[in-house]
Structure formats: C-alpha cells, structure tokens
C-alpha cells in the first residue's frame, strides 16, 4: 500500500496544538510509517512556494490548527484547501475560534493602540504602527494584514472534519489519526469526539443543584468529590462535549469548555446560560424578587469569557459591536 500524504499547518494559535501531535508519544512512529509528512512548520522547513507547486488534492489529509486572524492565515487556508483531499480543523482555534477569538471583544485599532502604544512597557513616541505595506528605496515591503475579527477555519473554507480541544487530548488525536489512516470515517462535517456532554460521564457526586451563590475558582477550595456546580463554582460541563478524559476535573479545576458544544446545541454560551438559569436559586423563590436574582447574577464576572472562552468566533453574535 502506498503511503498517505499528510500535512500540518498552524495559523493563529499558541503552538500547543503542534505539541499535541507529539503527545501521542511513540505512536507518532506508527503514523510516520504509514504516512509521508509533506509540511509541518514546527519541525520541517517547507516553503509556501513548495506548497504552491504541489498538485491540487495531492495532500490526503491536512491538519490545520489555529484561527484566522491575518490575511496570511486566510491565504494559507485557501491554498491548503485546494491542495488537500481532506481538510481537518485541528484544535479549538480552528474549530471554534478559542482564546484568539476573545480578541473579537476589540477590533484592530483597539488592539494596536493597546499593544503598540499604551502598554506600560512601550515607548513609541512617533506612534509607529504595523502597516501592511511600506515604501522603501528598494521597493514595496509587505506584511500580512491584521483583521478586525478572528474567524474559524470553516468561516473561510470548507472543512471536512473537526478535532476539538485546547489542545486536543492524546486519546482524541490518536483515535483521529487511526480513523484517517484506515479510512474508517464518519460522515463529512463530524467532530471526531464523543457526542455526550461532559457531565454525562463526570465521576463527581451530583445533587439536585440549587446554588445560592457563585464563587470564582480562587475564592473557594473545591471539594474534589463533589460536582463543581453544586458547590457554586461555574463548570462548563453541561454545555461541553466529552472526550477529554476529565483532565481538568481530575485536577480539581472546573471545565472551561474547550471541547466546544455538543452536536444538538447551536451556541455553547447560550446552552450554559440555560443550564445555569435552572440552578441559580434565590431564597423565597416564589416572590420572584428581581433584585435578588440580579444580585446573584452579578456574581458571575466576565460572562463572555466564562461562557464563550473557546467559542466566541463560532457563536451567534461572533464579535462585539464597536461603534
């Protein structure tokens, strides 16, 4: 059997997804035995020109991590789409936008002002900001354009499969590689992870939840046996896909939602709002005292960062309106 051709690429990401590939440890050797790696920026020096020269659809599977933040990210997404039979959004950034997409609470101008002028350690008296093209004696210099809005991979090109997680856990990565190398694939568009919510498989003891106050993680030492929500600590488990092996839960930290929504949910944050609304209790419920409800809800700091930490770019609203 001839070897499969695979490629890896990184766009707007932290680099963790690159390492996640290696987290499958010695299994990577099995992958290399069955596949040629044509591109892998973290490990090989492939030039964009080389990719352009490849025949269309000559890459069997391309694993693309990172969100779309610049024109370079978008250009490479389009190029790799053309060169690949199967394009996989690898990791939360490519899948749902992830942490880079929290910058959708700002725009290019606000980000540049902060990063290049206002930060406490910056001296920039001439207010020099990055420019996508600049005239010098020798000609025009260009750098990629920085967009106002971070997008998911499938908002710029068609995506065949998704591998969730920030970063994807070794079990998920290994399982996905096996699926691709054996051709045992679910229908196009599938997320290669279980369909149940994290709570469904969570080992912690659950009660009928009714929480009277909300704690931030640092405000309370969590009982390692009991459900976080029962203890008043927001856990994204009800709104998040399982498959991670409860790594955070086992480390006594609540789920923050990196595996994204379950298949029947349209918006992860909305789902969490719905779940939370059902468990927030106020004393003397029947009086429906609006003030008390407001007081309780005001304990939830940073709703966007809590409910949409990983999925803002793929949510209904996608970005903050900035006038």
Partner 1 sequence: MEEFEPKIIAFLCKWCTYAGADLAGVSRLKFSPNAVPIKVMCSGRVDPSFVLDAFAKGADGVLVGGCHPGDCHYAQGNYKTLRRVKLLKMLLKDMGLEEERLRLEWISASEGNKFREVVNDMTLKLKEIGPSPLKTEELK
Instruction: Indicate whether 259 belongs to the interface with ligand SF4 (CB under 6 A).
Output: no
Instruction: Indicate whether 165 belongs to the interface with ligand SF4 (CB under 6 A).
Output: no
The Cα–Cα gap between 159 and 157 comes to 6
The Cα–Cα gap between 228 and 206 comes to 9
C-beta of 165 vs 237, nearer to ligand SF4:
237
The Cα–Cα gap between 240 and 159 comes to 21
Residue nearest to ligand SF4 (CB): 237
Give the interface segment with ligand SF4, choosing from 3-11, 146-154, 228-236, 261-269 (CB under 6 A). Answer: 228-236
Other Cβ atoms closer than 10 A to 174: 18
C-beta of 132 vs 274, nearer to partner 1:
274
Instruction: Indicate whether 222 belongs to the interface with ligand SF4 (CB under 6 A).
Output: no
Give the interface segment with ligand SF4, choosing from 29-37, 55-63, 233-241, 261-269 (CB under 6 A). Answer: 233-241
The Cα–Cα gap between 159 and 88 comes to 6
Give the interface segment with ligand SF4, choosing from 41-49, 117-125, 225-233, 292-300 (CB under 6 A). Answer: 225-233
Minimum distance between the CB of residue 287 and partner 1, rounded to whole angstroms?
8
Question: Can you tell me which of 202, 258, 276, 280 binds ligand SF4, judged by CB under 6 A?
Answer: 202
* Residue 134 main-chain phi, psi, to 5 deg: -150, 135
Is beta strand 68-70 parallel, antiparallel or unpaired with respect to 146-151? antiparallel
What is the binding site for partner 1 (CB under 8 A)? 105, 147-149, 151, 155, 265-267, 269-271, 273-274, 276-278, 280, 285-288, 290, 293-294, 297, 300, 303-304, 307, 315-323
Count of positions on this chain that bind ligand SF4 (CB under 6 A) = 14
Question: Can you tell me which of 198, 239, 258, 313 binds ligand SF4, judged by CB under 6 A?
Answer: 198
Q: Which does 85 bind (CB under 5 to 8 A by kind): ligand SF4, partner 1, none?
A: none
The Cα–Cα gap between 162 and 154 comes to 10
C-beta of 118 vs 285, nearer to partner 1:
285
C-beta of 182 vs 298, nearer to partner 1:
298
Instruction: Indicate whether 162 belongs to the interface with ligand SF4 (CB under 6 A).
Output: no
Report angle CA 171, 172, 176 to the nearest 5 degrees: 115
Three-state SS annotation for 174-230: HHHHHHHHHCCCCCCCCECCCCCEHHHHCCCECCCCCECCCECHHHCCCCCCECCHH
Report angle CA 295, 298, 301 to the nearest 5 degrees: 160
Q: Using alpha carbons, select from 167, 164, 178, 146 the residue that is nearest to residue 260.
A: 164
Instruction: Indicate whether 244 belongs to the interface with ligand SF4 (CB under 6 A).
Output: no
Give the interface segment with ligand SF4, choosing from 42-50, 181-189, 196-204, 308-316 (CB under 6 A). Answer: 196-204
Which two tokens mark 291?
């003030």
Three-state SS annotation for 237-259: HHHCECCCCCHHHHCCCCCCCCC
Other Cβ atoms closer than 10 A to 27: 15
Q: Which does 55 bind (CB under 5 to 8 A by kind): ligand SF4, partner 1, none?
A: none
Q: Which does 269 bind (CB under 5 to 8 A by kind): ligand SF4, partner 1, none?
A: partner 1
- The residues that touch ligand SF4, with contacts defined as CB under 6 A, are 198-199, 202, 204, 206, 227-229, 235, 237-238, 249, 254-255
């Amino acid at each position: 059997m001839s070897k499969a051709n695979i490629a890896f690429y990184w766009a707007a990401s932290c680099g963790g997804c690159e390492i996640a590939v290696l987290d499958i440890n010695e299994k990577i050797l099995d992958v290399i035995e069955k596949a040629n790696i044509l591109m892998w920026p973290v490990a090989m020096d492939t030039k964009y020109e080389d990719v352009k020269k490849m025949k269309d659809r000559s890459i069997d599977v391309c694993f693309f991590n990172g969100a779309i933040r610049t024109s370079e990210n978008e250009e490479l997404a389009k190029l790799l789409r053309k060169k690949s039979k199967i394009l996989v959004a690898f990791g939360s950034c490519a899948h749902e936008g992830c942490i880079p997409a929290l910058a959708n609470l700002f725009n290019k101008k606000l980000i540049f002002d902060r990063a290049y002028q206002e930060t406490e350690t910056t001296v920039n008296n001439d207010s020099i900001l990055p420019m996508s093209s600049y005239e010098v004696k020798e000609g025009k210099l260009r750098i990629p354009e920085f967009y106002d809005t971070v997008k998911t991979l499938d908002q710029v090109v068609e995506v065949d499969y998704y591998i969730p997680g920030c970063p994807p856990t070794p079990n998920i990565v290994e399982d996905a590689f096996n699926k691709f190398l054996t051709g045992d694939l679910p229908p196009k568009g599938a997320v290669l992870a279980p369909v149940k919510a994290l709570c469904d498989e969570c080992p912690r003891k659950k009660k009928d939840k009714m929480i009277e106050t909300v704690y931030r993680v640092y405000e309370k030492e969590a009982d390692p046996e009991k459900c976080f929500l029962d203890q008043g600590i927001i856990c994204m488990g009800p709104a998040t896909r399982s498959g991670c092996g409860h790594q955070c839960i086992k480390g006594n930290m609540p789920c923050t939602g990196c595996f994204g929504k379950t298949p029947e949910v349209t918006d992860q944050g909305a789902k969490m709002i719905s779940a939370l609304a059902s468990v927030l209790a106020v004393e003397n419920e029947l009086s429906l005292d609006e003030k008390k409800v407001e007081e309780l809800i005001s304990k939830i700091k940073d709703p966007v960062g809590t409910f949409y930490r990983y999925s803002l770019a793929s949510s209904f609203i996608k970005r903050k309106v900035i006038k």
